[in-house]
């Protein structure tokens, strides 16, 4: 039972709920007999605001080019930056809106959304305004992330870019946040060899923390950088990627209750070593999942992410579901309101046409026929046209 305020009023056995609310009236009643009701999925890492796809680079990767080889040849992030800078705010919003709609249809009800394809102040703010507009106008939860340190802009050194972010970007961001024009939740840096080193990463993350942003950054993806150790030291809420994390870093993250946002799509598409999900779980790290949707990893579907996590990272289906719901909400600092079906939490659900919830993970790419309803704050935001007419088996 969900109240008008969008929060869960009661959870329990059907007979007990019917007796408790026998005199109540409801705007809508959904018969879920034979179906499963799950918490809305949480996508803890995406880059969904950009112009100019990179489909041509997929062929290069298939031919053996590495991520950094494409980057150094003028592709990768810089290719997207060029197109994103040229795009109008309206163009970016329209494509972003369609991407969010596809995420919703795949069961995501809360999504972390980064800037990071502007790399100068005006374009980064343009991206953040687009995210803010979606926050206010669309029925989906959004956690907004400033990622101006996604790459070193052409013509600048990493130190110069770091100084620009600390002296210009973040003060302007603070001003817009205080005025209520923007509501940004997280600060992100791509801590990587040839991009932002540990010293620059520390400076930017600390400056972001000082203006009230949660630390949630890219670390230890392509090279061991001791990013996990740094994040644990700075009190990071979450660190993403971690394909090259050290044993010491895993221990530090577990101790600091810093979430590990693992991205099986990225490791799969870039043919990287898989993150050590099993070791992290065994050592008590809070493991979350994200799609890493971006021009380099074009995936909207958290059910597919969960499937890949189970097959490639040796997670159980229970662990994958927790990682895509309550743990992903924790990675965004929202586990007190999102990520599970509990009284008082936000009424976000996915209803699937199966008596076994495991079908959401088991079926690889089958979510389009499997998901009957997606609900945010008690409001149906997606209903499958074939609702109830197809079998999940």
Tokens found for residue 207? 């400056």
pLDDT band at 386 (very low <50, low <70, confident <90, very high): confident
Cβ neighbours of residue 26 closer than 8 Å, sequence gap 6 or more? none
CB 227 within 8 A of CB 217: yes
Residues found in the chain: 393
Q: Residue 19 above 70 pLDDT?
A: yes
Residue 393 has pLDDT above 70, yes or no: no
Per-residue pLDDT tens for 322-357? 999 999 999 999 999 999 999 999 999 999 999 999
Q: Is the pLDDT of residue 392 over 80?
A: no
From residue 89, how far is each of 1, 84, 92, 283 by CA, in Å? 39, 9, 5, 44
What are 78-125's pLDDT values in tens digits?
A: 899 999 999 999 999 999 999 999 999 999 999 999 999 999 999 999
pLDDT surpasses 70 at 315? yes
Helix, strand, coil % in the chain, rounded to nearest 5? 40, 20, 40
Interval 358-377: pLDDT, tens: 999 999 998 989 999 999 99
Q: Give the predicted TM-score (pTM) of the model.
A: 0.96
Q: Half-sphere exposure of residue 223, counting CA atoms within 13 Å on the CB side? A: 12
Tell me which residue of 49, 23, 16 sits closest to 117, measured CA to CA.
49
Average pLDDT, the chain: 95
Which SS3 state, helix, strand or coil, does residue 337 take?
coil
- Structure tokens of 98? 């369609």
Considering only CA atoms, which of 120, 39, 36 is closest in space to residue 86? 120
- pLDDT for 218 equals 98
> Does the structure show a pLDDT above 80 at 67?
no
What percent of the chain lies above the pLDDT cut of 70?
98
CA distance 295 to 300: 11
pLDDT, tens digit (0-9, with 9 covering 90-100), for 260-296: 999 999 999 888 999 999 999 999 999 999 999 999 8
39-332 has CATH 3.30.465.10 classification: no
pLDDT at 229 over 60: yes
Tell me the per-residue pLDDT of 119-155, one tens digit each, with 9 for 90 and over.
999 999 999 999 999 999 999 999 999 999 999 999 9
Residue 348 is predicted with a pLDDT of: 98
**Mean pLDDT of all residues in 294-308:** 96
For residue 289, the surrounding DSSP H or E stretch is strand 287-289
Q: Where in the chain do CATH 3.20.20.140 domains reside? A: 39-332
Kind plus residue range of the DSSP H or E element containing 317: helix 317-323
């Amino acid at each position: 039972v969900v109240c008008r305020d969008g929060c869960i009023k009661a959870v329990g056995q059907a007979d007990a709920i019917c007796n408790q609310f026998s005199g109540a009236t409801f705007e809508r009643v959904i018969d879920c007999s034979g179906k499963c009701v799950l918490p809305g999925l949480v996508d803890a890492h995406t880059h969904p605001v950009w112009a100019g796809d990179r489909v041509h680079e997929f062929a290069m990767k298939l031919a053996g080019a590495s991520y950094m080889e494409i980057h150094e040849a003028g592709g990768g992030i810089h290719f997207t930056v060029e197109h994103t800078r040229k795009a109008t705010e309206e163009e970016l919003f329209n494509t972003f809106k369609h991407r969010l709609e596809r995420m919703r249809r795949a069961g995501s009800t809360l999504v972390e959304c980064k800037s990071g394809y502007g790399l100068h102040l005006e374009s980064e703010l343009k991206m953040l305004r687009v995210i803010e507009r979606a926050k206010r106008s669309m029925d989906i939860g959004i956690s907004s992330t400033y990622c101006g340190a996604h790459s070193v802009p052409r013509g600048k050194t990493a130190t110069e870019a770091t100084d620009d972010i600390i002296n210009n970007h973040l003060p302007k961001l603070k001003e817009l946040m205080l005025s209520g024009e923007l509501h940004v939740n997280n600060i992100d840096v791509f801590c990587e060899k040839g991009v932002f080193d540990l010293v620059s990463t520390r400076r930017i993350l600390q400056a972001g923390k000082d203006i009230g942003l949660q630390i949630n950054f890219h670390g230890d993806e392509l090279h061991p950088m001791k990013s996990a150790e740094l994040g644990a030291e700075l009190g990071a809420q979450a660190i993403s990627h971690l394909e090259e994390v050290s044993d010491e870093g895993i221990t530090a993250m577990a101790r600091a209750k810093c979430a590990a946002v693992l991205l099986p799509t990225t490791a799969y598409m870039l043919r990287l070593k898989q993150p050590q999900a099993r070791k992290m779980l065994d050592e008590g790290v809070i493991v979350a999942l994200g799609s890493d949707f971006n021009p380099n990893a074009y995936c909207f579907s958290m059910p597919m992410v969960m499937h890949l996590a189970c097959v490639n990272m040796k997670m159980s289906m229970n662990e994958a579901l927790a990682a895509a719901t309550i743990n992903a909400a924790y990675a965004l600092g929202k586990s007190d309101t999102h990520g599970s079906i509990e009284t008082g939490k936000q009424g976000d659900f996915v209803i699937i046409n199966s008596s076994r919830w495991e079908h959401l993970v088991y079926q690889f790419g089958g979510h389009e026929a499997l998901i009957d309803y997606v609900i945010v704050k008690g409001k149906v935001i997606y209903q499958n046209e074939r609702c109830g007419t197809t079998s999940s088996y």
